[in-house]
Amino acid sequence: MTHKRTPKRKAAIAASSVVVIGAAAVLLPHANASQDGASDPPTPRTLKAQDASVLATRVARDLGAAFAGSYYDEGERQLVVNVAGYDDRLVDRAEKAGAAVREVDNSTAELMSAARTLRSEATIPGTSWAVDPRTNKLRVTADSTVTGERWDVLESTVQRLGHGMATLKKSSGTFKTFLSGGDAIFAGEARCSVGFNVTANDGTPAFLTAGHCGEVGEQWSETLGDAPVATVEQSVFPGTGDHALVKYDDPGTQAPSEVDLGDRTVPITQAADAVVGQPVFRMGSTTGLFDGQVLGLNATVNYPEGTVTGLIQTDVCAEPGDSGGSLFTREGHAVGLTSGGSGDCTAGGETFFQPVTTALAEVGATLGTGGDGGAGEGDQGAAGGGAGADGDASGADGPPQADRY
């Protein structure tokens, strides 16, 4: 299956520097620097966003309970790591690893406890919350349907969390899954987008998409009204994610690991965890290519259909029909699958994504045609996140040429 659809709109590739620092956060000097300046502090490493994600995982492991989140400062091209409870030894270790370190008030355990309170007392359709390491708080959002008594419950719950634990904002849109009728992949009248081609654990070709798409129909076709070409194997929604594994009915289907941008493709080389502040791109069958950045991790979203946990929160726009579509980096790393959100690509809004690393682990699949995560071969019979028109793909030196769309 090949999609050669030209996206409707341009993606404005203009990433902004992440320099927000919460009022309670203090950048820490190097623990071993002398009072008279005889010892210079280590200089934070200059990193690409995806390298920062790898470093964040390493530092989180080293810091243990003292780790209170991290984010990528795109302007400085540095990883900023939060430390709760100053410890000279741990700070020294994180700085020597190449991170910029700052002291914060809220530990990860305290933020997770606050999130559990929200889950038990304010699980209201149209609300969401995620950890924002830049402010060291929970980012709580309510859509336009949360009014009256429901707003009062949410507001009072946030207040009871205590000063400095959470921010609360109102969104002008409505949280919903981005499912619609149109052109891309179809189950009856429902339309979704393919995220990434994968190889299932039995060696057969398949693709990942949103779990709420998998709940709508078991068999999916390339064109509205045509015969099915793929069948849902596993699906999760709502609950601990929003992802589905859909196997191609023809075991000979070539499913290369790449994202189709319409007139060319971007090779997808591996799956990677998101990091707050990271610039990302989303491709969907309705709106095409758009960009933005990661705002929060481990997000909980209360859709009308139920609560979904463990998502990535971004400011990338999306619209109905984009569900399941690819979230990826300029380096060609698969990051997420479009779940839902509020707004559109005219007014903007929040969009949430299923982490690809989690989805792959849960369904036991690997990217592309083999276990090495590299691009597959061939250009026939692969859906949205797979084969497309021949053309130059972006590399690590720059983003996709989105001004061409």
Asked if the model's pLDDT at residue 281 lies above 80, the reply is yes
Cα within 13 Å of Cα(118), Cβ side: 35
Average pLDDT over residues 65-79: 95
Contact between 137 and 164 under an 8 Å Cβ cutoff? The reply is yes
3-class DSSP assignment, residue 361: helix
What pLDDT is attached to residue 141? Answer: 97
Q: Which of 257, 323, 326, 394 is catalytic?
A: 323
CA–CA separation, 130 vs 309, rounded Å?
10
CA–CA separation, 278 vs 285, rounded Å?
23
Catalytic: 333? no
Strand (E) positions, 249-371?
258-260, 265-267, 270-271, 279-284, 288-303, 306-314, 326-328, 333-341, 351-355, 366-367
According to DSSP, the residues that pair with 294 across neighbouring strands are: 314
What pLDDT is attached to residue 15? Answer: 34
Catalytic: 379? no
Cα–Cα distance list, 189 to 56, 198, 206, 207, 226 (Å): 43, 25, 22, 20, 11
Contact between 354 and 238 under an 8 Å Cβ cutoff? The reply is no
322-344 confidence digits (pLDDT tens): 999 999 999 999 999 999 999 89
3-class DSSP assignment, residue 212: helix
Contact between 366 and 248 under an 8 Å Cβ cutoff? The reply is no
Q: In this structure, which amino acid lies at residue 183?
A: D
Q: Which of 73, 105, 242, 260 is catalytic?
A: 242
Cα within 13 Å of Cα(339), Cβ side: 37
Interhelix angle 148-160/108-121, nearest 10 degrees: 150
CA 194, distance to chain mean position in Å, is 15
Q: Which residue has the higher pLDDT, 246 or 36?
A: 246
Neighbours of 30 (CB within 10 A): 17
Contact between 73 and 100 under an 8 Å Cβ cutoff? The reply is yes
CA–CA separation, 196 vs 353, rounded Å?
13
What pLDDT is attached to residue 32? Answer: 42
3-53 confidence digits (pLDDT tens): 333 333 334 333 333 333 333 444 444 444 444 444 666 899 999 988 998
What pLDDT is attached to residue 371? Answer: 39
Task: Return mean pLDDT, the chain.
Answer: 82
Instruction: Concatenate the DSSP letters of all residues of 246-261 into one string.
Output: EEESSTT----SEEE-
Q: Which of 212, 257, 333, 394 is catalytic?
A: 212
What pLDDT is attached to residue 84? Answer: 93
With a pLDDT cut of 90, the percent of the chain lying above it is 66
H or E element, residue 133: none
3-class DSSP assignment, residue 216: helix
Catalytic: 242? yes
Q: Which of 307, 403, 396 is nearest to 352 (CA)?
A: 307
Contact between 159 and 289 under an 8 Å Cβ cutoff? The reply is no
Residues near 64 by Cβ (< 8 Å), separated by ≥ 6? none
- Which pair of tokens denotes residue 107? 């530990």
Q: Which of 235, 355, 239 is nearest to 301 (CA)?
A: 239
User: What residue has token string 């619209």?
Assistant: 319
